Chains A and B, each alone.
Chain A
Amino acid sequence: MSRHANDRSAIAALVRPTEVHRDIYIDEDVFQLEMKHLFANCWVFVGHDSQTPNKGDYFTTEIGTQPVIMVRHSDDEIYVLHNRCPHKGTKIAIDRAGNTGKFFRCPYHAWSFKTNGCLLAIPLRKGYKDTGLEESESVKGMAPVGAVKNYRGFVFARLAPEGVSFEDFFGSSLSSIDNMVDRSPAGRLEVAGPPLRYMHRCNWKMLVENQTDTCHPMVAHESSAGTAIKLWEEMEKPEGTKKPMAMEVIAPFMSSYEFFENMGIRTWPNGHGHTGVHHSIHSDYSAIPGYFEQMCEAYGEDRAREILGENRHNTVYFPNIMIKGPIQQLRLFKPISANKTLVESYIYRLVDAPDMLLQRTAMYNRLINAPTSMVGHDDLEMYERAQEGLHSDGLEWVNVQRLYQPGESFEQEAIENGTTERQMRNQFDAWTKYMTMTMDEAAQ
């Protein structure tokens, strides 16, 4: 029998207030339980509705490790279906995106399905006459996921048919998505091109934790950001030369501990949280000509200032995405196995805003998130070393204690010192909750 069976108390025991057991990162059984419980019970990001703008447009992806198709049906709504033919299991679509017209047609025996998944036709259907097909699971067509919500263009799904509602799961953390979308004078985002795809040989949670790890940039990124600053200072250049956009993006990674302490971290219930409450590494980007005027036009000056005054750095939506409102970016941490994670980094265009903003966003994406990115190399090196190091039997627990307050609870929104690991603890609190809510106690 495996070490971690479907056992509520054993799983809950892996998380302590200030430390977590290494099996959470390296054990395949725990990983399989995460896929079965955690990723089924949470609301997980699927895609952006601009990826499927027209009826019949589809996009293939995974929720946890479950292959799904996101598709725009004839009623203009987005559906999320399991990517599996109800006949013999063939994946219905394997290209990353396309248009299927009015229906999906399985390439194996040509069963066809409406774009909401319902069975449309079976060739030679008379062969099923009097066989009781009506009673079968197959006759229902392509199985839909448990629930879908399109929130301002961002499509989330819950695999489990029953469970927490979208609103209860996210609560006021949705303000970060709101702020990102509100930055468009038209109040709308559009995906800009395909995502960067970067394979990490580490557990998906290491990446999620790193999003609010404010004590690593000045250390791990000294090699890239520190060298950039040095090179820029040493460079001969005319007095008053403007910093290039790339320097504006990369240099703030070397900000001091004090800077990160003061930026603040906010946590929300259910594992969501963000860095950059008061300011962030995105605060000092140059103004883009014409943009503020467009925003005032669209929202009035006060509201425009309020929207642009937010400088939230990284917002983690538990379990596995991070968004950056000020630069319209989303990173999806796709779990593949206990020690393998695919990171997909998407960027979005602010509809009706100047192209220069998108240009900066695209630059940020390739400088920070590409498999060819120096900053990415710095981070991946640390994750992979950690994934390997955790196999050491010298110690079994991973420390998440920084600025811990005895008896802390995650039921209320809170704002803390920007270097706290409270958000990591918040994620583990949610991890235990959504992991165990559908588990049984071990049989005695």
Chain B
Amino acid sequence: MSAPSKDDLIDFIYEEARMLDDGRFDEWLDLWTPDGIYWMPLEYNQQDENLVTSLLHEDFFMIKLRVERFKGERTFSQKPKTRCHHVIQRPFVDRLDVDAGEFVTRTAFHYVETRLDDQTLLAANARHDLVLVDGKLKIKRKRVDLLNSDAAFGNIQMFL
């Protein structure tokens, strides 16, 4: 791929959600650039990434650590495993700049996480900043804004 189309970007977002729901985390890790950042703010419309708390603000090492932890023999909060489910709206392509190599989508979605008898439903918006690396789309940055980011939550264990 040298110039992704709007459909390519949209397909990418759908495919990502499917990987997460299928638990194909190693494939999902391959979607990231090594300097990728996965951010989930705590405040509505939060601007500051570093000097106030976020729910998540993780580099590739931390994202990988989460995936490794899921597999661990002594990861008791994943015995039994959590399952997740994304229902995504068709992504908006907010930026498609082939010359600059910058692609931005925004996706509204509902996310369900379940383990044993518990089920949590969250509504969120995701902004993906994608780049082309060797002809493939990669995630450079993913920002997930929960509709109720300031609410009290129980565990949120998987990736939104």
Q: Judging by beta carbons under 8 Å apart, are A372 and B152 in contact?
A: no
Interface centre among A194, A349, A377 (most CB of B within 10 A): A377
Residues B151 and A197 in contact, CB atoms below 8 Å apart: yes
A194 touches B42 (CB 8 A): yes
B42-92 contacts to A, CB under 8 A, are 42-43, 48, 50-59, 61-62, 64-66, 68-69, 72, 74-78
Which A residues are CB-close (under 8 A) to B59?
Answer: 244, 246
Is B156 among interface residues, defined by CB-CB distance under 8 A?
yes
A359 vs B58: C-alpha distance in the bound complex, in angstroms? Answer: 13
- The residue in chain A whose Cβ has the minimal distance to the Cβ of B72 is A223
Q: Is A199 an interface residue (CB 8 A)?
A: yes
Q: Taking the complex as formed, is A371 at the interface, i.e. its CB lies under 8 A from any CB of chain B? A: yes
In contact, B65 and A365 (Cβ under 8 angstroms): no
A377 touches B53 (CB 8 A): no
Interface size class of A (residues with CB under 8 A): 35 or more
Evaluate whether A246 and B62 lie within 8 angstroms (CB atoms) in the complex, with A199-B153, A222-B74, A371-B154 already known: yes
Which residue in chain A gives the minimum CB-CB distance to B79? Answer: A381
A192, A197, A199: the one contacting B51 at CB < 8 Å is A192
Contact A227 B68 (CB under 8 A): yes
CA distance A345 to B56 in the complex (A): 14
Given contacts A224-B69, A231-B61, A371-B155, contact A366 B150 (CB under 8 A): no
User: What residue of chain A has the Cβ atom nearest to residue B158's Cβ?
Assistant: A372
Asked if B153 and A377 sit within 8 Å, CB to CB, the answer is no
Contact B57–A366 (Cβ < 8 Å): yes
CB neighbors of B among A254-308 (8 A): none
Is A220 an interface residue, CB under 8 A from the partner?
yes
- Say which residue of B51, B54, B78, B152 sits within 8 Å of A342 (CB atoms): B152
B69 surroundings in chain A (CB, below 8 A): 223-224, 227, 374
Q: Considering the chains assembled together, what is the distance between the CA atoms of A130 and B155 in angstroms?
A: 57
Closest to A219 in B: B74
Cβ-based interface call for B40 (8 A) = yes
| Nearest CB of B to A155, in Å | 21
Other-chain residue from A220, A222, A342, A372 in contact with B56 (beta carbon distance below 8 A): A372
Map CB proximity to A onto B123-160 as digits: 1 under 8 Å, 0 otherwise.
Answer: 00000000000000000000000000011111111000
Given contacts A193-B43, A197-B150, A362-B52, A246 and B61 within 8 Å (CB-CB)? yes
Residue A370 is within 8 A (CB to CB) of chain B in the complex: yes
Whether A366 contacts B66 by the Cβ 8 Å rule is no
Distance in angstroms from A157 CB to nearest chain B CB is: 22
Is A372 in contact with B40, judged by CB distance below 8 angstroms? yes
Kindly list chain B residues whose C-beta atoms are within 8 Å of the C-beta of A377: 77, 155, 157
B120 to chain A, nearest CB (A): 10
Would you call A347 an interface residue if the criterion is a C-beta within 8 Å of the partner chain's C-beta atoms? Answer: yes
Pairwise interchain contact A381-B77, C-beta atoms closer than 8 A? yes
Report how far A378 CA is from B79 CA in the complex, Å: 11
Closest chain-A Cβ to B126's Cβ sits at a distance in Å of 15
CB distance from A62 to the nearest CB of B (A): 12
Question: In this complex, what residue of B is CB-closest to A370?
Answer: B55
Whether the Cβ atoms of B53 and A366 lie closer than 8 Å is: yes
Q: Is A371 a contact of B56 with CB atoms below 8 Å?
A: no
Indicate whether A228 reaches chain B with its CB closer than 8 angstroms.
yes
Q: Which residue of B lies closest to A381 (CB)?
A: B77
Select from chain B the residue with minimum beta-carbon distance to A374: B69
**Once the chains are docked, how many angstroms separate the CA of A205 from the CA of B81?**
28
The count of chain B contact residues (Cβ–Cβ below 8 Å) is 35
Which residue on B lies nearest to A197, using beta carbons? Answer: B152
Closest A residue by C-beta to B40: A372
Contacts of B57 in A (CB 8 A): 363, 366
- B150-A355 in contact (CB<8A): no
Q: For the complex, is A177 an interface residue (Cβ under 8 Å from B)?
A: no
Q: Please tell me if the beta carbons of A359 and B156 are within 8 angstroms of each other in the complex.
A: no
Smallest beta-carbon distance B68→chain A, Å: 5
1/0 per residue, CB under 8 A from B, across A350-378: the answer is 00000100110011011100111010111
Cα–Cα distance between A197 and B153 once the two chains are bound (Å): 7
User: What is the CB-to-nearest-CB distance from A94 to chain B, in angstroms, rounded to a whole number?
Assistant: 14
A223:B74 contact, CB within 8 angstroms: yes
Report the Cα distance A232→B68, complex, angstroms: 12
Interface string of B83-113 (1 = CB under 8 A from A): 0000000000000000000000000000000
- Assess whether A381 is in contact with B76, with CB atoms less than 8 Å apart: yes
B153 touches A223 (CB 8 A): no
Q: Which of B50, B56, B62, B77 contacts A370 (CB under 8 A)?
A: B56
In the bound complex, do residue B153 and residue A371 qualify as a contact, i.e. CB atoms below 8 Å apart? yes
Do A193 and B52 contact each other (CB < 8 Å), given the known contacts A223-B74, A227-B69? yes
Q: How far is the CA of A220 from the CA of B48 in the complex (A)?
A: 32
Contact of A362 with B54 in the complex, beta carbons under 8 Å: yes
How many Å from the CB of B151 to the closest CB on chain A?
Answer: 7
Say yes or no: A347 contacts B53, CB within 8 Å: yes
A-side contacts of B152, CB under 8 Å: 197-199, 342, 371
Closest to A201 in B: B154
18 CB contacts below 8 A, A to B, read A192-B51, A193-B51, A193-B52, A194-B150, A197-B153, A198-B153, A198-B154, A199-B152, A223-B78, A224-B69, A227-B65, A231-B68, A246-B59, A362-B51, A362-B52, A367-B62, A372-B55, A380-B155
4 tightest CB-CB pairs across the interface, nearest first?
A: A193-B52, A371-B153, A223-B75, A197-B152
